[in-house]
Amino acid sequence: MLKMGFVGWRGMVGSVLIQRMIEENDFNSIEPIFFSTSKAGKTCPIFDAKIQNAYDLNKLKKLNVIITCQGGDYTKRIYKSLRNSGWKGYWIDSSSKLRMDSNSIIILDPINLKIIEQSLDLGIKNFIGGNCTVSLMLLSLGGLFKNNLIEWITSMTYQAASGAGSKHMIELLNQMRILGNLVKKNNHAKSILEIDSKITKYMGSLPIKNFGAPIAGSLIPWIDQKMDNGQSKEEWKGNVETNKILGFSPNTIKIDGICVRIGAMRCHSQAFIIKLKKDIPLYDIESIIKEHNPWVKVIKNDSNSSLKKLTPAAVSGTMSIPIGRLRKLSFGKKYITAFTVGDQLLWGAAEPIRRMLKILVNR
Ligand code: NAP
């Protein structure tokens, strides 16, 4: 049985990964060992085992596989020393730290299983989960990618608070509570303007330790660091990661857009404008999309269906990746638009990692 060490299992991605592994009985076929950067020595609530120190190289070196959902700083601190010490196990990581390295594969098996299998045969040992919006975009438009129909895409994202981690979720809830309580106290206000001006006044004094700006009742049009070309790093990932996952050289398919954090708790949404390589009837586009994988669902382009099936509230906690608002744009016959929503903690993070573990176990 493979000895698998889990680091970062207490966080958002890690907890969802463990939940999915329990649901799928994955723990029956591995020997799990739980690590933490802050809770070493305590008892793991999942399997009643002692939690190990995630910085202890000697303990880590004994593992066949390390799964880290801890974040890039941990990878930066541990990965090189571990490899330098001669460790030859599989490193599976949800952070972006090693994603673009030449000896790393970005894992999204419904899209690139062949590349994963080939690289395992070649002895590659680093398998890294993709950026959440990139993975969700690829799964929602998988059929169009597979049939080589896309010339370029702009993706405008609406990304949930949980995409930034557990502390950010708590901050969003605290901000919502503060704003909500102001309204409660103001229930008998004479006019909506009174409520509105009170909210606006307090918006500036909300706790913003993690987000850097109010997110409840607002949005933040910037995610991650600035790149030299004016993109945010989140926007840069759209192009480079998509092409790498598909096995293309950079910029083969052009993807660009603006990434925005919104006050949704869970699920990333994206609005696409796509230029196709040829004019195809909308009906055929819908068929190509829905036939690609079991999780993508084409939603009728009407108000009722969109409200019922195409919102974070409807999709959170599910494996479905609905795509709707599909229509031809007035710009020309090769231009289409679409809107998709997906749970960024499931298909956007934990599920590709869980499925990679299965691939290793089954080899
Ligand atoms: P997170 O929720 O902030 O958790 C990371 C670690 O923080 C935990 O494993 C835990 O480690 C520690 N921690 C400190 N206080 C905690 C608390 N109150 N509750 C739970 N954990 C706490 O981070 P994450 O969102 O899971 O992201 C992990 C990595 O995955 C990042 O590199 C991120 O970029 C990437 N990723 C995230 C998403 C997403 O949707 N969130 C999607 C794709 C990729 P210790 O046990 O060691 O203290």
Does the CB atom of residue 16 touch ligand 1 within 6 A? no
* Position in ligand 1 atom list of the atom nearest CA 345: 40
* Position in ligand 1 atom list of the atom nearest CA 95: 32
Beta-bridge mates of residue 3: 31
Whether 309 and 251 map to the same domain: the answer is yes
Does the CB atom of residue 10 touch ligand 1 within 6 A? yes
Which ranges of the chain have pLDDT less than 50? Answer: none
Residue nearest to atom 41 of ligand 1 (CA): 163
Residues 162, 168, 173: CA angle, nearest 5 degrees: 90
DSSP β-ladder status, 150-159 and 126-129? unpaired
Whether 124 and 233 map to the same domain: the answer is no
Whether 231 and 90 map to the same domain: the answer is no
| Tally of domains within the chain | 2
Mutation probe of ligand 1 site: the residue of 53, 166, 356 with most atoms within 8 A of C-beta: 166
Mutation probe of ligand 1 site: the residue of 12, 78, 134 with most atoms within 8 A of C-beta: 12
Whether 18 and 99 map to the same domain: the answer is yes
How many angstroms does the Cα of residue 101 sit away from the middle of ligand 1? 22
Residue 69 is a catalytic residue: no
Residue nearest to atom 38 of ligand 1 (CA): 163
Does the CB atom of residue 71 touch ligand 1 within 6 A? yes
Does the CB atom of residue 68 touch ligand 1 within 6 A? no
Does the CB atom of residue 342 touch ligand 1 within 6 A? no
Q: Which residues form the domain of 280?
A: 134-160+221-343
Among the listed residues 44, 69, 132, 267, the single catalytic one is 132
* Residue from 193, 201, 194, 231 nearest 217 by CA: 201
Whether 358 and 265 map to the same domain: the answer is no
Q: Residue 252: which CATH number? A: 3.30.360.10
Whether 232 and 325 map to the same domain: the answer is yes
Does the CB atom of residue 162 touch ligand 1 within 6 A? yes
In a domain? residue 99: yes
Cα 318 to Cα 227: distance, rounded to the nearest angstrom: 33
Q: Residue 125: which CATH number? A: 3.40.50.720
Q: What's this model's pTM, rounded to 2 decimal places?
A: 0.96
Whether 302 and 356 map to the same domain: the answer is no
In a domain? residue 183: no
Residue nearest to atom 31 of ligand 1 (CA): 71
Residue 268 is a catalytic residue: yes
pLDDT (tens digit, 9 = 90+) per residue, 313-340?
999 999 999 999 999 999 999 999 999 9
How many angstroms does the Cα of residue 227 sit away from the middle of ligand 1? 24
In a domain? residue 186: no
What would the two tokens of residue 322 be?
A: 């609905």
Cα 157 to Cα 340: distance, rounded to the nearest angstrom: 10
In a domain? residue 280: yes
Q: What's the chain's Rg over C-alpha atoms? A: 22
Residue nearest to atom 3 of ligand 1 (CA): 165
Which parts of 154-301 fold into alpha helices (H)? 166-185, 192-203, 233-245, 282-290
Beta-bridge mates of residue 162: none
Among the listed residues 168, 267, 268, 292, the single catalytic one is 268
